[in-house]
Structure 1
Amino acid sequence: MIAILPAAESERQTLLRQAGLSGPAECLTVREGGERLGAVLFRRQGETVEIFAARAADASLLDGLLRAALNAALNAGARTAVCSEEALFPALRALGFLPSGEHPGRLQAALSAVFSKGCPGGCRL
């Protein structure tokens, strides 16, 4: 069974170092059994969540990881999501992210719009 769960502290620290990041950040991992299939690093500050890095074994797992991180941030009070990691732009555009007029090279989205859009397969959350 596939599960998306918070990373253990040691794993979170390792993933932060590998991504070249420092400071506080949350980390969710997707696993099947004991095998890690992907991870996402993000931070919520006030009403904004920033996605720093995410990788997964395939596009569906990446979509699930991004949605899980955005949902966790929404539940913690975030209203807007931003990301400057160009490698994630195709996956984020599929979720409804658009270019930020204020910050070139960054995508953003209202979390309410992300979750009102539904899933790629047509399900509605």
Structure 2
Amino acid sequence: MSIDLADLRHTPRRPGSRQAGDGALQAEKILALQVEIARLEATAAGHRVDFERERERADRLTTELLQATAEATAAKEAAARLEGSLRTGGRSGGSTDGHGQATSRLGHLLADLVEADRRACK
């Protein structure tokens, strides 16, 4: 590919006029960019505050969830111990009187109630 330089028409400008206009235009663009940077920094700062608040909230909720999980586990273990003691409580004493049999039946009823409640909660 070749270019004929005779086809190009170039008229040089005066040396001082071009630089003065370009300098003012560049200063205006720089000022506009600085304003945009300040706006974006303010927006970023607002987002940072939101982020920090939500992170603190998530940390609190995580702590509460861990505590609730520990309490639920302890309650399940206590219910299992209670259920076991109610099922075996009437048998270990070896009592054959009416009071021992009533206690044993009550223990079985309570154990069945606890077991049904545990199934309902699942």
TM-score, structure 1 as length reference: 0.22
Over alpha carbons, which structure has the higher Rg? 2
TM-score, structure 2 as length reference: 0.22
Structure number having the greater helix percentage: 2
